[in-house]
């Protein structure tokens, strides 16, 4: 597939990098962009050589939200019949390999929501996060009212959703929305470093860890603990567990075969 609104490349033969590329519109997210993003994510997920995916934007904008010029003309019937936002925004949830958001500049509305759909966020020091939909007479429609409170707690999520104000990178890190903040010129290097670390681990174990952490957001503690324990038990059936522990015991570097 050829892409017009994203750029796709592979680093070190094991990290897939997707760059949102609609610079004039600050990477505003329309159907074509989201379809291309979904296709690129699925292709990397299916590629055995790829161990981790990075999703990034430009220095000025990760993404400034869903495309307002498209939504401005929408009727209820358009949105409801077309299942607007769900149609092509859910693909990222189905990706089993880790997806790191490397965010610089604006991550607003759907852009903030897209970053939160990734497994973790590394932010540049110029990053700005926000759910400004209230200013447009609407509310977040791609999970912002659900994922933001889980990430930063009710008070700050309410503050963001009701005032529409932006949070800078420092506040986002303090609140737990992002895992690390680095200088803008170090963002890609930092994200790639994290992705390379992850790519060298067993893909099976990495997928299991991702599934287990995600479970913490979608059920009770008892269910989550049981899910984790059973996954933990099942990993004793993998060659990679044998390799990882044998390597530790024999003081050598583990070489995982993803089996």
Rounded to a whole number of angstroms, the minimum distance from the CB of residue 69 to ligand CAA is 5
Nearest residue to ligand CAA, by Cβ distance, number only = 109
Rounded to a whole number of angstroms, the minimum distance from the CB of residue 107 to ligand CAA is 10
Q: What is the spatial distance between Cα 72 and Cα 85, in angstroms, rounded to a whole number?
A: 14
Verify whether residue 82 is a known catalytic residue: no
Catalytic residue among 63, 64, 66, 102: 66
Query: Residue 248 forms beta bridges with which residues?
Result: none
Q: What is the spatial distance between Cα 146 and Cα 134, in angstroms, rounded to a whole number?
A: 15
- Between 51 and 140, name the residue whose CB sits nearer to ligand CAA: 140
**Cα torsion 132, 136, 139, 144: sign:** negative
Verify whether residue 172 is a known catalytic residue: no
Rounded to a whole number of angstroms, the minimum distance from the CB of residue 121 to ligand CAA is 17
Q: What is the DSSP letter of 24?
A: G
Verify whether residue 237 is a known catalytic residue: no
Rounded to a whole number of angstroms, the minimum distance from the CB of residue 68 to ligand CAA is 4
Binding site for ligand CAA (CB under 6 A): 25-26, 28, 64-69, 85, 106, 108-110, 113, 132-133, 136, 140-142, 144
Give, for 46, the enclosing helix (H) or strand (E). Answer: helix 31-46
Give, for 56, the enclosing helix (H) or strand (E). Answer: strand 52-56
Catalytic residue among 51, 65, 105, 110: 110
Query: In sequence order, what are the residues at sequence separation of 6 or more whose Cβ sits closer than 8 angstroms to the Cβ of residue 80?
Result: none
- Between 51 and 111, name the residue whose CB sits nearer to ligand CAA: 111
* 8 A C-beta contact, residue 45 and residue 96: yes
Verify whether residue 211 is a known catalytic residue: no
Report, as residue numbers or ranges, the catalytic residues: 66, 110, 113, 133
């Amino acid at each position: 597939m050829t892409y017009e609104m994203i750029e796709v490349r592979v680093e070190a033969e094991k990290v897939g990098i997707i760059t949102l590329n609609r610079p004039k519109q600050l990477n505003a997210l329309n159907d074509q962009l989201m379809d291309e993003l979904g296709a690129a994510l699925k292709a990397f997920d299916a590629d055995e050589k790829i161990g981790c995916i990075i999703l990034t934007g430009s220095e000025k904008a990760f993404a400034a939200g869903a495309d307002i010029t498209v939504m401005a003309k929408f009727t209820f019937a358009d949105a409801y019949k077309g299942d607007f936002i769900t149609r092509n925004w859910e693909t990222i949830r189905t990706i089993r390999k880790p997806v790191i958001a490397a965010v610089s500049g604006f991550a607003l509305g759907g852009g903030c929501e897209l970053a939160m759909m990734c497994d973790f966020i590394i932010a540049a020091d110029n990053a700005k996060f926000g759910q400004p939909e209230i200013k447009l007479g609407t509310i977040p429609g791609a999970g912002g009212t659900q994922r933001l409170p889980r990430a930063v707690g009710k008070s700050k999520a309410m503050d963001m959703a009701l005032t529409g104000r932006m949070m800078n990178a420092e506040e986002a890190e303090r609140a737990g929305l992002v895992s690390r903040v680095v200088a803008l010129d170090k963002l890609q290097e930092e994200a790639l470093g994290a992705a390379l670390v992850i790519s060298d681990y067993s893909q099976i174990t990495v997928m299991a860890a991702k599934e287990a952490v995600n479970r913490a957001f979608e059920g009770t503690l008892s269910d989550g603990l049981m899910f984790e324990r059973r996954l933990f038990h099942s990993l004793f059936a993998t060659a990679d567990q044998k390799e990882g522990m044998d390597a530790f015991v024999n003081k050598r570097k583990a070489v995982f075969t993803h089996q």
